[in-house]
Amino acid sequence: MRTEAAILKNLIQNEEYTRKVLPFLKEDYFTENADKNLYGTVNEFVNKYNSLPSEEALQIELSEVKMNEEEYKDSLQLLKDIGNDGEDYTDLNWLLDKTEKFCQDKAIYNAVVESIGILDNPKSNQDKGAIPEILSDALSVSFDPHVGHDYLDDSDERFDFYHRVEERIPFDLDYFNRITKGGLPQKTLNICLAGTGVGKSLFMCHVAASCLSQNQNVLYITLEMAEEKIAERIDANMLDVAVDDLHALPKDLYDRKINNLRTTTKGKLIVKEYPTASANVNHFRALLNELNLKRSFVPDIIFVDYINICSSSRIKTGANVNSYTYIKSIAEELRGLAVEHKIPVVSATQTTRSGYSNTDVGLEDTSESFGLPATADLMFAIISTEQMEEVGQIMVKQLKNRYNDPTVNKKFVVGIDRAKMRLYDVDQSAQDELVDNGQEDDTPSFDVATGGKFKKRDFTGFEYE
């Protein structure tokens, strides 16, 4: 018996099988018109009446389906052949495995045909960049039996979840590790809020350099500055050379510093530039697929510089929507990308005009859309004043935090070296008037959070003469 006929036979006769596989079957998986007509009729009947149809009910339902006389006769003959087939497929697990393989093979075949159609038809509505996603979706077809968490029956799994150590990417800044309980978790969107020139890109470049030094793969997407400008800032951070001095650095000394990084760092950092307001998450997905195919590069963290100058994949440019809806849509899409690829995404946003001069920035100072903080998992403000600039410091204020209590260490100070695009921890005395005194802190330090594999970067010996 054909695989299609075996599937249709059990859809009609085996209720347990039907309830397990029907959500995953598609009409496109069947090539013969008779198979499609019978499958469509069974699917519609089960969804409408929540029970298996009898042979007589199927005959009546088929007579009401729009098809020509020859197709109708073939469909009735197929139904008759299935009913007369005496073979009994008693092993449900075997049936499920065969059906899953059938769906996977058909999905891949259909994806290849669709991809060829895109390549052969220059007027196709879909771009060639959609092909990797089409193939990826086909390769991911599988039967997932999970339909929800049973509060009582799944209590053991829930207990294990409570005691599971969540994978995080630590900061090399103690107070950021404190407020995040050890670093950034997977599947999260993290936003830095600051005024123009305060240090949004500097913060992201520093954290990107820190992740690279921890042997993480880092993807830095920029829609504001050129790729070379971002790489220049990371050079200043990693090589311990002021940005202005990089241009005067001799080639042999520069090569020696870069080679030292190659020997000590196993991670990769890719910087990709897009024109302002021209790229959305679909472009980012295509980039991830391309990096995986061409360079075997899979990022552990993504930086997007910055969220307000991305475009939305769901709302067309120029559509009559307000900024709240548009920016919230972009934030939701970026967070969806983080969940899809199981990585943290870090981005930034501007303050309003009043927030730029405000020394106590709040969520209400978020520019363009309050939907952004509603979507983010972590959001904090970077605040700078003339007095703080004089001593080389900036203040960080928690605005939203899903990882920890945002009222603990609500404000803290971080040292800043703008020449070398670097942040660093300051003495505890600088925190005394800001952080919440008397709060117990059991958050692991950077060394502990990284399992002792990495130490805070020590730039001794890297001084440029």
For 41-95, how does the pLDDT look when each residue is reduced to its tens digit (9 = 90+)? Answer: 999 999 888 889 888 888 888 888 888 888 888 888 888 888 776 666 667 888 8
**211-225 tens-digit pLDDT:** 999 999 999 999 988
Q: Give residue 197's region: left, alpha or beta (phi > 0; psi -120 to 50).
A: left
- CA angle, 300 then 443 then 409, to 5°: 100
What share of the chain has pLDDT > 90, as a percent?
40
Q: What is the pLDDT, as a whole number, of residue 359?
A: 77
Check residues 144 and 407 and name the one with the higher pLDDT.
407
Which among 399, 390, 362 is positioned nearest to 191, based on CA atoms?
Answer: 399
Whole-angstrom distance, CA of residue 327 vs CA of residue 350 = 12
The confidence score (pLDDT) of residue 441 equals 53
CA nearest 205: which of 176, 237, 177?
237
pLDDT at 352: 83
The reported pLDDT for the residue numbered 303 is: 96
Q: What is the Cα–Cα distance from 139 to 446, expressed in whole angstroms?
A: 39
Does pLDDT of 461 surpass 50?
no
pLDDT at 427 over 90: no
pTM here? 0.69
Nearest to 461 by CA among 266, 264, 248, 205: 264
Which helix (H) or strand (E) segment holds residue 345: the answer is strand 344-350
When the pLDDT of each residue in the chain is averaged and rounded to a whole number, the result is: 86
| Average pLDDT of the residues in 175-193 | 94
Q: Which two tokens stand for residue 149?
A: 């968490």
What does the pLDDT read at residue 85? 67
| CATH architecture designation of domain 168-449 | 3-Layer(aba) Sandwich (3.40)
Cα separation, 10 vs 42, in Å, equals 11
**For residue 427, which amino acid is it?**
D
DSSP state of 422: E
- Ranges for all domains in the chain classified under CATH 1.10.860: 3-139
Cis link prior to 89 (omega < 30° from 0)?
no
First to last CA, the chain: 80
CB 384 within 8 A of CB 394: yes
Q: Which residues contact 63 (CB under 8 A, 6 or more apart)?
A: 72
Work out the percent of the chain whose per-residue pLDDT is above 70: 89
CA-based R_g, the chain, Å: 29
The DSSP letter of residue 52 is P
CB 269 within 8 A of CB 230: no
Q: What are phi and psi of 366, to 5 degrees?
A: -70, 130
Cβ atoms of residues 41 and 58 within 8 Å? yes
Q: Where in the chain is the domain with CATH 3.40.50.300?
A: 168-449
Spatial separation of the C-alpha atoms in residues 217 and 293, rounded to whole Å: 15
- pLDDT the model gives residue 360: 82
Residue with the larger pLDDT of the pair 406 and 142: 406
3-state DSSP helix/strand/coil % of the chain, to nearest 5: 50, 15, 40
* Residue 14 pLDDT exceeds 80: yes
Please report the pLDDT score of residue 171 as a whole number: 94
**Rounded mean pLDDT of 354-382?**
84
Ramachandran assignment for 296, one of left (phi > 0), alpha (psi -120 to 50 degrees), beta (any other)? left
Among 112-116, 302-306, 356-360, the minimum mean pLDDT is found in 356-360
Confidence of residue 340 (pLDDT cuts 50, 70, 90): very high
Q: Give the model confidence (pLDDT) of 255-312 as tens digits.
A: 999 999 999 988 999 999 999 988 999 999 999 999 998 899 999 999 998 899 999 9
Residue 458 has a pLDDT of 62
From the options 1.10.860, 1.20.1510, 3.30.70, 3.40.50, give the CATH code of 3-139. Answer: 1.10.860
pLDDT at 209: 95
Residue type for 236, please?
A
- For the ranges 56-70, 315-329, 400-414, 428-442, the lowest mean pLDDT is seen at 428-442
